[in-house]
Amino acid sequence: MNTTKIADRVERIQESASGAAAQRVRDLRAQGVPVLSLTVGEPDFDTPENIKRAAEQALREGDTKYTPVNGTPELQRAILARVARRTGVEYSADELAVGGGGKQVIFLAFMATVEDGDEVIIPAPYWVSYPDMVLANGGEPVIVPTSEQDGFLLTPDALRTAITDRTVWLVLNTPSNPTGAVYGHDDLAALADVLREHPHVNVLTDEIYDELHYGQGQVASLIEVAPDLRDRVVTVNGVSKTYAMTGWRIGWGTGPREIIGAANKLQSQISSCTASVSQAAAVEALTGDQSFVAESVEVYRRRRDLAVEGFNSIPGLSCTSPDGAFYVYVNCAGVMGRTAPNGTKIDSDEALTLHLLDRAKVAVVHGAAYGLSPYFRISFATSEEIIQDAIDSIRAAIAELV
């Protein structure tokens, strides 16, 4: 009998709900079940050819060794130049952490700063990993619900109410997963006013989708809007979503030397550095031809419009049009309380997603996984044909409910 004790930090957390949904799709397909998946937060485009060629060249030239913990000098320069262009704020190499995706950088920032009982404010709906990252590091997620009427944005009053003496972080995600909500300049300025009243609160702003924006101009960044908060803001980004490089695993964070230095110290003991070949590819992504970005955003825009129109045409469902990322957060309050043909009561968004998987053979992720119900999230990072087929199938499955 195995008597190994699993650490409490593992027992406190859950498996990623979006990851579990994607695995469920893979399992069903392996069994021969034809499932239309709207679950995966991953571009369906291939990585651009110029980026692949840069990786191939790095391999041929023997660029396969350890690098500095926070990246090669070439990658450091490319990231810091991009940050300066985007925000107007310049950072030095010792204010830069590079990890195996933005996800790792966020975890390292929490590991470096969160202790037992510390509170981290997380607006809901949230990316599924934020609360579990906090829990894994002994902290307490403080979930602050937002509303569809407020555009799924955290309000200054809600932030002020949530802050306590134990608050160490506020997490902002713009554009948002799962809603696609984008904080504008004025929204961030109003939150910054509250933060100035509470100098003990740091801010982690996750901007991994900042290039996937359907509005005018570029997505505002907190550090751009409130540069006086520089010593309290960690800004996270990466190449995964913008350049269809999810599997290359390159993300970064810029922020205060003390926090970034602690994250890099942890990184030095965890994995030493990220893959050298991926770093070479990321340099090309950031400094090379950018036409792929604009072209892909226009494709996403068409898919977004198709999805929004389609879901709003289904009785009992509704959604707002996201300003960024590639998700739609569908309100399903109108079908709660109905009954499926097999007698199952649709009393939660999870029950509805199971009904859609069973009857429509469409996989989506239930809103409770993101902390705000009754909704479900769909990803439109897939073809227009799949989106339309999924909408048609969902329409038929919803019509079965009585």
Q: Can you give the CATH number for the domain in which 342 is found?
A: 3.90.1150.10
Query: Using the 8-state DSSP alphabet, how is residue 324 labeled?
Result: B
Residue at 308 is within a domain: yes
Kindly compute the dihedral angle of the four CA atoms of residues 22, 383, 127, 129, in this order, to the nearest 10 degrees.
Answer: 30
Same-domain status, 114 and 255: yes
Same-domain status, 140 and 251: yes
Same-domain status, 123 and 226: yes
Q: What is the pTM of this model?
A: 0.95
Same-domain status, 366 and 283: no
**What DSSP letter does each residue of 337-389 carry, written as one string?**
T-B-TTS-B--SHHHHHHHIIIII-EE-EEGGGGT--SEEEEE--S-HHHHHH
Same-domain status, 37 and 157: no
Same-domain status, 235 and 366: no
Number of residues written out for the chain = 402
Amino acid at 263: A
Residue at 31 is within a domain: yes
- Final residue of a domain: which of 260, 287, 314? 287
Residue 132: per-residue pLDDT: 97
- Final residue of a domain: which of 259, 287, 315? 287
Number of domains, the chain: 2
Residue at 204 is within a domain: yes
Same-domain status, 17 and 129: no
Task: Please check whether residue 279 is in contact with residue 305, taking contact to mean a CB–CB distance below 8 angstroms.
Answer: no
Residue 84: per-residue pLDDT: 98
Same-domain status, 298 and 283: no
Residue at 3 is within a domain: no
Residue at 1 is within a domain: no
Task: Please check whether residue 251 is in contact with residue 98, taking contact to mean a CB–CB distance below 8 angstroms.
Answer: yes
- Final residue of a domain: which of 287, 322, 357? 287
Q: Which residue has the tokens 């990585």?
A: 47
Same-domain status, 81 and 133: yes
Q: Which residue has the tokens 């859950």?
A: 14
Residue 1: per-residue pLDDT: 64
| Range(s) of the domain holding residue 146 | 55-287
Burial class (CB in 10 A: 0-12, 13-18, 19+), 354: middle
d(CA 257, CA 246): 27
Q: Which residue has the tokens 């289904």?
A: 314
**CATH code of the domain containing 258:** 3.40.640.10
Residue 284: per-residue pLDDT: 98
Same-domain status, 379 and 297: yes
Same-domain status, 65 and 169: yes
CA distances from 256 to 80, 87, 197, 252 (A): 14, 15, 19, 13
Same-domain status, 150 and 83: yes
Q: Largest Cα–Cα distance of the chain, in whole Å?
A: 65
Residue at 106 is within a domain: yes
Task: Please check whether residue 157 is in contact with residue 127, taking contact to mean a CB–CB distance below 8 angstroms.
Answer: no
Cis peptide before 123 (omega within 30 of 0): no
Residue 279 sits at φ, ψ, to 5 deg, of -65, -40
Residue at 350 is within a domain: yes
How would you write the pLDDT of the chain (402 residues) with one tens digit per residue? Answer: 677 888 888 888 888 777 777 787 788 788 888 889 999 889 999 999 999 999 999 999 999 999 999 999 999 999 999 999 999 999 999 999 999 999 999 999 999 999 999 999 999 999 999 999 999 999 999 999 999 999 999 999 999 999 999 999 999 999 999 999 999 999 999 999 999 999 999 999 999 999 999 999 999 999 999 999 999 999 999 999 999 999 999 999 999 999 999 999 999 999 999 999 999 999 999 999 999 999 999 999 999 999 999 999 999 999 999 999 999 999 999 999 999 999 999 999 999 999 999 999 999 999 999 999 999 999 999 999 999 999 999 999 999 999
d(CA 105, CA 205): 12
Residue at 313 is within a domain: yes
Task: Please check whether residue 313 is in contact with residue 327, taking contact to mean a CB–CB distance below 8 angstroms.
Answer: no
